[in-house]
Structure 1
Amino acid sequence: MKLLVANYAGNVEANVRFYRALGIEFDQEVDLTCTEGKASGGVMAIHARDTAQSPKDGFVVIMVAESPLEEVRERLVAAGFDGGRICEENFGPSLRVVDPDGNELQINDQ
């Protein structure tokens, strides 16, 4: 089984540019209805809300960087997006960013 994360975006083109800057590969032309990108792999983690450092209801999108977090920030800024902030977590550093539709993402260090 493979994990598929769906982002119901208000602006598909802006979101494709944002996620491309993060390293997601979109092989096809951008379809304004549905466009799928590929990452190098996927994992689903289930966390206990009562012990989580940053508890949230439901799902949160967490990515694992394949390059240093500073480089990820630089790619976002070069593509015209806010580079977010790097936070020190109990498991190590993570980059917190917001996509064009306001969805918060956590990008863990490699």
Structure 2
Amino acid sequence: MKTSKKNRFQILMLVLVATFLYFPGLGCFSSSYTQPKPPATQHPPLERKTITYPDGSRYEGFVLDNQAHGNGMMIYPDGRRYLGVYRHGKPDGPGTMRYPDGHFEKGQWGKDQQFQKF
């Protein structure tokens, strides 16, 4: 069976394309370029502390810049306890507020208030 020049060219191109697809870096089109990694963001380390506020409430948990930040618990003078996530001193994220009479509210908190109940 004789192949025409057109068929031989198509077969050669198919072999070349397959070679470059399955064996990257071979041939004259290889490249040593690698995409640069984005710079790592530097976050100050969180430390675990207890902070007592002038109104008598007490926070126990992670702190950033002397503010509640991360997981922690706030105990209020009236007996309420909030256990959850804080951001820059305010409840922000999932948490649970327990009241002195025993009932509790689970939900999503933000800007120092509950905006979604679970």
- Output the TM-score relative to the length of structure 2: 0.19
- Higher share of residues assigned strand: 2
**Which fold has the larger relative contact order, with Cα–Cα distance below 8 Å and residues 6 or more apart in sequence?**
1
Which structure would you say has the larger Rg? 2
- Output the TM-score relative to the length of structure 1: 0.20
